[in-house]
């Protein structure tokens, strides 16, 4: 069942995204109109959500040194102020204030498995929408936002179903501030062509570790279908210096199969074709169990790496899920740092 969670039945192709080399003016206008509506939606529903000193998606205390106070249960032990603790014989932590120029980096996975969806959207549509919301939430007040985008490698000369020629292709967009620059970043993400072949999520995450940067926010947007062994170590390394948010995008058909008879499915990264007899209840049960095990392993790897975990689905209101996530993060932070 290793292939089951990554298979992709034939679905509609995205109509609101064009590749970087596209010259179709109608498709380009359609993309711009879609992004404009998306920006308006994000602005209306998320404006005012992040009030206070911190102006990022993950509400936190920042990294600039401030004064000290007595330790309270739930405080981060990495912020212990040992000199004050030694003088007072009481545990103290160093308060920090938010950086006024926060730097946020996105690792956007646009491998072939994202070109799939049976809900209200394709998974790649949710990825683009999440990137737009993150850009809106973290780019205020002169904050900078950059991105690295990964997609599959081109197939070898044998055709679409041949083994991939390389570990994936990556694009780096420098961190910049300003409304126009942020909109250009979102357009670049939306306009990235999804290529066939296998991607390398571990290499994509590791791009956020090079070159070393000052403490900031790192966000990984992916379906995390790559084995956790591939990306868990780069994730742990990234968490040493940054607050990390992992946004997992999934489709309901990746969790369970419907009873629709014989279903032809194709692995988008290798081109391998399989016929699945979905009328078999035992098969559907094993598929659901394997999918649940896979998602549990992903969640455990993210938790072990110290990343905050947000799950977005193609059949749900992704914006509402993001609002609930931010509210829950704030509540947890406040509850952990107050008496």
Q: Would you say residue 57 lies in a domain?
A: no
Q: What is the pLDDT of residues 142-184, one digit of tens each?
A: 788 999 999 987 654 444 444 444 456 899 999 988 888 988 9
For the ranges 118-132, 190-204, 293-307, 322-336, the lowest mean pLDDT is seen at 322-336
Same domain, 200 and 126: yes
Q: Would you say residue 3 lies in a domain?
A: no
Same domain, 287 and 207: yes
Same domain, 237 and 127: yes
State mean pLDDT over 308-333.
83
Q: Which pLDDT score, from 0 to 100, does residue 34 have?
A: 63
Supply the DSSP string of 47-72, one letter for each residue: TTSS-SS--SSS----SEEEEEEE--
Q: What is the dihedral of CA 212, 214, 219, 220, to 10 degrees?
A: 10
Same domain, 277 and 290: yes
Q: Which pLDDT score, from 0 to 100, does residue 36 have?
A: 66
Same domain, 76 and 106: no
Helices of type H across 213-280: 228-241
Residue that terminates a domain, selected from 74, 98, 122: 98
Residue that terminates a domain, selected from 53, 78, 98: 98
Q: What is the dihedral of CA 133, 137, 138, 141, to 10 degrees?
A: 140
Q: Would you say residue 4 lies in a domain?
A: no
Q: Would you say residue 319 lies in a domain?
A: yes
Same domain, 81 and 174: no
CATH of the domain at 165: 3.40.50.410
Q: Which domain holds residue 81?
A: 66-98
Q: Which pLDDT score, from 0 to 100, does residue 10 have?
A: 35
Residue that terminates a domain, selected from 48, 76, 98: 98
Same domain, 188 and 276: yes
Q: Which pLDDT score, from 0 to 100, does residue 39 have?
A: 63
The pairing of strands 243-250 and 308-313 is parallel
Same domain, 172 and 235: yes
State mean pLDDT over 82-91.
89
Q: What is the pLDDT of residues 37-49, one digit of tens each?
A: 666 556 555 555 4
Answer whether residue 337 shows pLDDT above 50.
no
| Three-class SS state of 247 | strand
pTM, two decimal places = 0.73
Q: What is the pLDDT of residues 223-281, one digit of tens each?
A: 999 999 999 999 999 998 888 999 999 999 999 988 888 888 887 777 788 888 888 99
Q: Which pLDDT score, from 0 to 100, does residue 326 have?
A: 77
Question: Which are the contacts of 47, defined by CB distance < 8 A and separation ≥ 6?
Answer: none
Q: Would you say residue 210 lies in a domain?
A: yes
Q: Would you say residue 38 lies in a domain?
A: no
Same domain, 201 and 71: no
Q: Compute the mean pLDDT over every residue in the chain, rounded to the nearest whole number.
A: 77
Same domain, 246 and 135: yes
Same domain, 203 and 146: yes
CB 98 within 8 A of CB 61: yes
Please compute, for residue 224, the number of CA atoms within 13 A of its CA located in the half-sphere on the CB side.
Answer: 26
Dihedral pair phi/psi, residue 14, rounded to 5° = -65, 135
In 76-199, the DSSP E strands lie at 92-97, 103-110, 144-151, 169-176
| Three-class SS state of 230 | helix
| Residue predicted with more confidence, 338 or 244 | 244
Answer whether residue 1 shows pLDDT above 60.
no
Same domain, 199 and 318: yes
Q: Would you say residue 274 lies in a domain?
A: yes
| Residue predicted with more confidence, 161 or 61 | 61
Q: Would you say residue 6 lies in a domain?
A: no
State mean pLDDT over 7-21.
39
Percent over 90 (pLDDT), the chain? 30
| Number of domains present in the structure of the chain | 2
């Amino acid at each position: 069942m290793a292939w089951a969670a990554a298979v992709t039945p034939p679905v509609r192709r995205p109509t609101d995204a064009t590749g970087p080399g596209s010259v179709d003016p109608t498709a380009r206008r359609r993309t711009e109109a879609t992004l404009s509506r998306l920006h308006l939606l994000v602005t209306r529903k998320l404006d005012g959500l992040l009030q206070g000193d911190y102006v990022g998606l993950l509400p936190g205390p920042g990294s600039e040194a401030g004064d000290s106070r007595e330790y309270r249960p739930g405080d981060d032990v990495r912020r212990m102020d040992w000199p004050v603790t030694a003088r007072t014989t009481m545990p103290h932590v160093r308060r920090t204030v938010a950086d006024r120029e926060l730097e946020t980096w996105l690792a956007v996975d646009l491998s072939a498995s994202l070109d799939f969806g049976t809900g209200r959207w394709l998974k790649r549509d949710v990825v683009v929408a999440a990137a737009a919301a993150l850009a809106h939430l973290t780019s205020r007040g002169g904050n900078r936002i950059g991105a690295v985008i990964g997609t599959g490698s081109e197939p070898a000369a044998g055709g679409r179903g041949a083994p991939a020629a390389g570990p994936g292709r990556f694009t780096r967009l420098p961190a910049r501030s300003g409304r126009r620059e942020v909109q250009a970043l979102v357009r670049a993400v939306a306009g990235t062509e999804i290529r066939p072949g296998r991607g390398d999520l571990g290499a994509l995450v590791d791009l956020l570790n090079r070159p070393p940067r000052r403490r900031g926010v790192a966000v990984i947007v992916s379906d995390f279908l790559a084995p956790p062994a591939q990306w868990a170590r780069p994730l742990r390394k990234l968490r040493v210096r940054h607050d990390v948010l992992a946004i997992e995008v999934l489709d309901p058909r990746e969790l369970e199969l419907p009873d629709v008879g014989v279903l032809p499915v194709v692995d988008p990264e290798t081109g391998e074709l399989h016929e699945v007899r979905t009328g078999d209840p035992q098969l559907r049960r094993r598929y659901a169990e394997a999918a649940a095990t896979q998602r549990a392993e992903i969640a455990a790897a993210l938790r072990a790496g110290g990343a905050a975990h947000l799950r977005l689905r193609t059949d749900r209101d992704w914006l509402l899920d993001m609002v609930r996530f931010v509210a829950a993060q704030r509540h947890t932070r406040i509850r952990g740092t107050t008496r």
